[in-house]
Every structure is written in structure tokens, then in C-alpha cells.
Amino acid sequence: MIRPGGAQLNIANGIREFAIASPSATAVVDGDRRLSYGALDERARRFGNALLAAGLTPGDRVAVVLGNRLEYPEIAAGIARVGMQMVPVNPRLTASEVRYIVGHSEARATVADAALAVIVEPAVEEQPQKLVLRIDDGYEQTLEAASLADAGIEVDETEPFCVAYTSGTTGKPKGVMISHRSRSLTFYGTALEWGLGPGRRTIAVAPMYHGAGFAFGYGALHVGGELWMLRAFDPERLLGMIAESRAQSVFLVPTHAQMIRTLGIDVIARYDTSSLETLYFNAAALPFPLKRWVMETFPSAGVHELYGSTEAGIVTNCRPEFALTKPGSVGPAWFMTEVRVADIDGNPVEPGGTGELYSRSPYLMNGYLKDPEATEACTTPDGFLTCGDIVRIDEDGFVFIVDRKKDMIISGGVNIYPREVEDVLVKHPGVRDVAVVGLASQRWGEEVTAFVVVAEGTTAQQLDEHARVELASFKVPRRYELVDTLPRNAAGKVLKRELRGR
């Protein structure tokens, strides 16, 4: 059968193509270990064939419980080559959380770091498995025994390459089905926008089991670049790796920038980061004072701030030329993307107004696995999707995130958006990190409460005095909780549910 439009997009294709075009070029660097494109493609083929030999078939799901390491890309590509679906699992989850994801996804095989057996074994004992592989314990022998032949399995580009489970900040995680088409187009757009490609180097800083970490790490390999693995985030180790690799493009979340900033300028200056041409941020709000600091500290790098989600992919991008003229914006719609803002009744919001953000693009998810009701709740008949974010859009089409709809605080009958309060508090020089939530109050319904990580000597009274300068009295926090850290998920987003639980 001849398919209209020719070859189908597949996330394994880029590695295969560069294994032919430049087989000796370095693809992955993980400490002292390196893989060329030729070796990476060979190992991916062997892994896919090992799954087939174990009795799995196209469409089956494979749970992958790993941190950032050399094997991650070959496992993802191997799964994709044989038409199976990867289920990336955060290795920091508890055994019960892993059990839920493996069970809900009906994964037929599991690949995990041998050190994670304690959280993986309960899950694989309950869910029938065709194959269980432990990195550093039998994995290499399995590859060596597997066939090197191309399995020749055709995969439709609209089929999921993975089922990525959301962080579960508001309840049980949902499995987001993401297609080959969605991610392949994301990879090419990323290369064009943020400077990935042949001869270019980047670092996998964000965890690859998370959507953004995978898109911006594995994406470099799809377009022929060189990917260096940062196994665990350490701000000084990252600076050293930038200096060593001469990386041109690096993706970070705002928390990473905060941690680098705490090193102090004397430590930062020890490392040559002049190779950086692009820094791009996603996953959580990048406070403008922090963004300005990044621009001043890394003057060779253009700073991009983008907005997206697991379900929608990349939606907007604020390019460096607008960083100062559009402070606080996450930019206009990204490549191939339409956005619209609607009020509570679904009516369009005029520029300057506030409403819920919807987007339509080739990057949208296929839906939530086994949850058509949740899929229908966030999509429209004409193909737009919302993740419940409240935004303002200006006359130039630039989007400003106001807050998550679910995080809005109603105090004394008045709507208060936590991000507005957070943006004010973070300007205080003694504030290192902050999250604002609404806690139950018999008098007000909810009362504005700020959880703040502060420098030594900073007091709640100082924060309150600072807040009252810029905020109306009803928006000023009624409580300040000074804490050592804020709970965050793999994407760097604050787990506000945990704060409310305190």
C-alpha cells in the first residue's frame, strides 16, 4: 500500500538518518562514556528487536524508569522503531506511584536502573511482564544477544510514541498520549528556534522522563547534534559542563537559574560560558528580575521564555528581542500554532482582557489514555485544547500568564491570582523562592498565604511591608510561612497541593 504523502514521521528516524550520514559523529556523552551515531542506531535496533523477541508486539507499552544517562535515547529510539509506546516514569516516585502508572498503562515490559529495584519490583509483580531489564544488571547481555536486523515495522505517525503521565498535582496522574508527528515536528522547530543541529552541542539538564526534558534533550539527537548528560542537577557542575562541552544551547527551568544565582558571581566567573548562544526557559514562571539577572550574567546568550504543557506541547515563545519591551510575557504563538483567549462562557476576549488560553497545533496530544471524559473536558469541537491557564493577551498578540484557573484564590468573594502576589514578593532582595496559595478560612473562605524561602535575616514583617507598597490590601498575604524549600515536580513546578496540605 502506498501511503499519501510518502514516509511517515517517527522519532527514531533522526538517529537512523545521521547514523548513515555521519556514523562516526559523537551523539551522546555521559561522563567517560560516548556513543557515536552509528553505535547509537545499532543499539536502538538491538533493543527494539529484544522487545520483539520477548513476545511484545507493536502497540504494546514499555515502562522506562531511568534518570538522565547514556541509555535513555537508545531505549526511546528502539521502542519507537518497532511501533511500541514508551511510558516514561519518574524514578523519584514511590513504589505505589510507580505501581499505579505501570498498571494503568498496562506496560508489558519495564526497563529500570538496577538501583531502583525497590520501587519497580512491586509494580512488575502485579502487572504481567514479558520482559524486565535492569541497567547495569543484564542489559548489555540482552543487547548483545539481540538481532541487528531492521525489523521493518511500519508505524503511522499519528500513533503515540509515548504515554507521559502528568505530575498528578491535582489528583491521580493522567496518561497523555503523544504522537510521533507531534514530537518530530517539535524537534525540528526546536532546532530552528534554539540552535540545535549538526555540529551543535547541548546538555540534558532537565530530566528526560519529563516531557520538556525529553523534547529538548532527545530533540538534539533527532537533528544530528551532540547531547551531554547531566545525571543530577548541580549548579556548579552544570557550569563546568558548559565550559567543557562548549555547549551553544541549554534548556533550563527557572529553579535552575535561581540555584545558579545562589552560587554568587565569584563562583560563576570561574567558568567560561562564552560558548552559550541560547538559553531557553519553560515549565514555570520566570520572574522578570531573575530573567534580567540571567541576561546580565550570560551576555553571550539570547534568552527565550516559552510556555507549553505536556498536553499542548510548545504554545508560545518570547524571543530575546522582546525580553525588555514585553517584560513578563511568554511571547506570541509559536510555529504552526493558533491561540485564542475565551471567557467563562467561551466568548472571545478582546486584547487587554483576561481569559482562559486555548491552542491548536500539530503538537497537541491524542488524548488521555482510557479517559475520554477528561479529554473531552479540555478540548473543543474545532480542535483547540486548554490546560486551564488564565492569561492576558495584548494588542500585539503577546501572551501574559496570569495564573492557573485551579489556583485562583477567592477571599471574601474577591478573585485573587497567586502569581500577581508572587511576582511582587520575588522582587524583595531577601526572597529566594515563593509560592502563594489559598488556605481555608472561616471568615474569608480562603486567605492568601505565602510560603517563602528567604535569605538569612529576612523577616515576615519585612515581606509584609514590601507587599503593601504594590498590592491592594485584600491581595496582601495574611500569613507568611518561611520554609527551607518548596516542593516541586520534575518540571520545576511548585506542588501547591502539598502546600495546601500543610
Per-residue pLDDT at 130? 92
Task: Quote the CA–CA distance of 63 and 76 in Å, as a whole number.
Answer: 10
Per-residue pLDDT at 413? 65
Q: For every one of its 502 residues, what pLDDT tens digit does the chain have, with 9 covering 90 and above?
A: 456 778 899 999 999 999 999 999 999 999 999 999 999 999 999 999 999 999 999 999 999 999 999 999 999 999 999 999 999 998 988 898 899 999 999 999 999 998 888 899 999 888 889 999 999 889 999 999 999 999 999 999 999 999 999 865 446 789 999 999 999 999 999 999 999 999 999 999 999 998 999 999 999 999 999 999 999 999 999 999 999 999 999 999 888 998 899 999 999 999 999 999 999 998 777 888 899 999 999 999 999 999 999 999 999 999 999 999 999 999 999 999 999 999 888 899 989 888 999 999 999 999 999 999 999 999 999 999 998 888 999 999 999 988 777 787 878 667 787 888 998 999 999 999 999 998 888 677 789 999 999 999 999 999 999 999 888 788 899 999 999 999 987 667 788 888 887 7
352: Cβ–Cβ under 8 A, 6 or more apart, which residues?
392, 393, 394, 395
Domains of the chain: 39-179 (3.40.50.980), 193-404 (3.40.50.12780), 408-501 (3.30.300.30)
Per-residue pLDDT at 491? 67
Per-residue pLDDT at 498? 85
440: Cβ–Cβ under 8 A, 6 or more apart, which residues?
446
Per-residue pLDDT at 169? 46
Task: Quote the CA–CA distance of 362 and 453 in Å, as a whole number.
Answer: 39
Please check whether residue 223 is in contact with residue 14, taking contact to mean a CB–CB distance below 8 angstroms. Answer: yes
Find cell 502508572 and name the residue.
101
Task: Report the predicted TM-score, pTM, of the whole model to 2 decimal places.
Answer: 0.86
Per-residue pLDDT at 113? 92
* Three cell numbers, residue 191: 532546532
Helix (DSSP H) and strand (DSSP E) numbers for the chain: 16, 24
- In this predicted model, what pLDDT tens digit does every residue of 338-349 receive, in sequence order? 999 998 888 999
